[in-house]
Chains A and B, each alone.
Chain A
Amino acid sequence: MSNLLIYPIIIPLLAAMVLVFFRDRIKLQQWISALSLLATIGISIYIIHYVSTEQILVLELGGWAAPYGIVLVGDMLAVILTAVASFVTLMCLLYGFQSIETGHKKHFIYPMILILLSGVNGSFLTGDIFNLFVCFEVMLIASYVLIALGGKKIQLRESIKYVLINVIASTLFVIATAYLYAATGTLNLAHLSERIAETGQDGLLTAISFIYLTVFGLKSGLLLFFWLPGSYSAPPPPIAALFAALLTKVGVYTVLRTFTLLFYHKPEITHTIILWMAAITMILGALGAVSHWEIKKILSYNVIISVGFILFGVAVGTEQALSGSFFYLIHDMLSKALIFITGGAIINIFGTDKLKEFSGLILFRPLLGWLFFIGVLALAGVPPLSGFVGKVMILQGALSAGELAVSIIGLVTSLMVLYSVLKIFIHSFWGETLMSEGQEYSTGKHALLPGTILVVCIAAMGLGAEWVNTYVAQATEVMVNPNLYIEAVFKQISP
């Protein structure tokens, strides 16, 4: 049964490797990748069902028990994220089937997307800190390739920065793990949790947690997001959508995981820092979003804002706030995919992303317009879409904990989110229609199917929030009670 957990990692991986042998058969590549993703989603959903009805799944890879071997741990947090990540990848892929250039398709873009997902799913599922590093690298290396693929000047320019900064972050990850192993003598998350708890997380461990925070902050765009806007504006839209929906979220997940499972003993130090990092992130992200007039840049800064908001909930750290953060995290993966896919379609259609150079698209792409508009509302947290529920949950938690100031920052920045994204809607869809149908660079129609599916999901997640919350609650339960995680890994049945 526990072998279930490996599928979300190896199905995409195997598919990716098989695709290498069918380099010139694009249709076949598309079929294989779509089917493998469907299979991954299916299995992930089954895992969610299993975990929710039975227990946390633990896979001891190679049959080596923790802490000696590597374990995969499927608690609700991890398995939901796995499912959502796979789903979002499928959406981006559907969008990319038409909008990606043939050259890219022949140059391993599909294998790389699948490898990216494999790394992402691995990062969610792994129960070993060093393995997390390796999964990160799988994900990152695929992202390096994807971001530079095509070799346009802007891509090269931005990817070189992206790679450089991430390489340094990766090295810091290794350093942190070196210190952690020296201090605790183990790499297994559950075992680490136990040992850290035993010391009460003294100064050294807290300092180590900050190295991790630097690394994860970099990956997630928490405060250290400087690399992000440029990098996310460089690749073709489907890739940007994939990045926006997945990459930073993995960073967010790791912050969530490490600071609820490992370093939760000194919240007055760690969580306070995260809180203010989150606040500054929201503010700077919002300023950046407001200041730009290019679709890609605006949307990239929006990625940053939401990261700040989610981690604000994590910093508050109460059960309510954590639930909210997790809910919002799922919402954000879906809605970022939506807004990047539909926004990408606008760019495809006009051949540029400079807002001042186009207008009036709604006349012949009304559905696209409405999908984008709903995306705008979802980002701003307008009810009854999913963003609203997540926002309310985080704010409930935060205000219960008395965090009024940062809550206000959160709301002011959501206004600026609205302002920035609405600007895109108004400038691209409204106004005089300057272009007639048939003159577009691309029809933009390939965004409609994934866009519609995502809109349905976002609306369903808002309206059916109670149902979603039953799963979110199960995930939060583990976050607030790390013993559940530890017991699952070490197979001790709690009384």
Chain B
Amino acid sequence: METFMIIISGILYTIATYLILNKNFLRIVLGVTLFSHATHIMLISINGLKRGAAPLLGENAEAYTDPIPQALILTSIVISFALTALLLVLGYRTYIELGTDNMKKLRGESHE
């Protein structure tokens, strides 16, 4: 399953990158969200899946899956959330002030 999941996350990366390279702000932010989803899947997959019970000692299993990736992903999820929220509101404000969400139009007078 690990290999499968790594490939899934690779596909997500591809799609996310394509979205990120878009001109439309919303697509970009969606791409960023997908990018971090892919990262979380990658992080947990390459460190071995289902190698034991959930890391809850009450489960009385012989082995537990590695809790470290889970802890890292948790932190990362929360941070991604904070960043996505900030980015979204920034895009929203930009749209209101500058009237566009097209990154092409946000170039500024390149090289003033």
Q: Chain A: residues with CB nearer than 8 A to chain B?
A: 130, 134, 137, 141, 144-145, 148, 151, 153-154, 156-161, 163-164, 167-168, 170-171, 174-175, 177-179, 181-182, 187, 230, 291-292, 294, 297
Contact = CB atoms under 8 A, between A and B. Distances in A.
Interface in B29-75: 32, 35-36, 39, 42-43, 46-47, 68-69, 72, 75
B86 A182 contact: no
B69 A141 contact: no
A179 B46 contact: yes
Contact of B87 (A164, A187, A291, A297): A164
Nearest to A175: B39
A167 B36 CA distance: 10
Given A151-B97, A157-B98, A167-B83, A174 B68 contact: no
Given A144-B86, A163-B90, A178-B69, 15 more contacts: A130-B72, A134-B75, A148-B90, A154-B108, A157-B94, A160-B94, A160-B106, A164-B32, A167-B32, A168-B32, A170-B79, A171-B32, A178-B46, A181-B43, A230-B108
B2 to A, nearest CB: 10
24 contacts: A144-B90, A148-B90, A153-B97, A153-B98, A156-B90, A156-B97, A157-B98, A158-B108, A159-B90, A160-B25, A160-B90, A163-B90, A164-B32, A164-B87, A167-B84, A168-B20, A174-B36, A174-B39, A175-B42, A175-B43, A178-B43, A181-B47, A291-B111, A297-B112
A167 B30 CA distance: 13
Contacts of A170: 79, 83
A162 to B, nearest CB: 10
Given A144-B86, A297-B112, A171 B39 contact: yes
Query: Interface size class for chain B?
Result: 20 to 34
Contacts of B11: none
A239 to B, nearest CB: 16
Contacts of A137: 79, 83
B101 to A, nearest CB: 9
B38 to A, nearest CB: 9
Chain B interface, >50% SS class: helix
A419 B25 CA distance: 39
Nearest to B72: A130
Interface of B: 20, 25, 28, 32, 35-36, 39, 42-43, 46-47, 68-69, 72, 75-76, 79-80, 82-84, 86-87, 90-91, 93-94, 97-98, 103, 106, 108, 111-112
Contacts of B76: 174
Given A134-B75, A174-B39, A178-B39, A160 B46 contact: no
Contacts of B112: 292, 294, 297
A164 B28 contact: yes
B21 to A, nearest CB: 11
Q: Which of B35, B83, B86, B106 has the most CB of A within 10 A?
A: B83
Given A134-B79, A167-B87, A174 B106 contact: no
B23 to A, nearest CB: 12
Nearest to B13: A175
B93 A156 contact: yes
B69 A163 contact: no
Nearest to B20: A168
Given A163-B83, A167-B83, A157 B93 contact: no
A167 B16 CA distance: 13
A294 B108 CA distance: 15
Nearest to B94: A156
A432 B39 CA distance: 59
A163 B108 contact: no
B83 A182 contact: no
A163 B68 contact: no
Given A130-B72, A134-B79, A141-B82, A171 B35 contact: yes
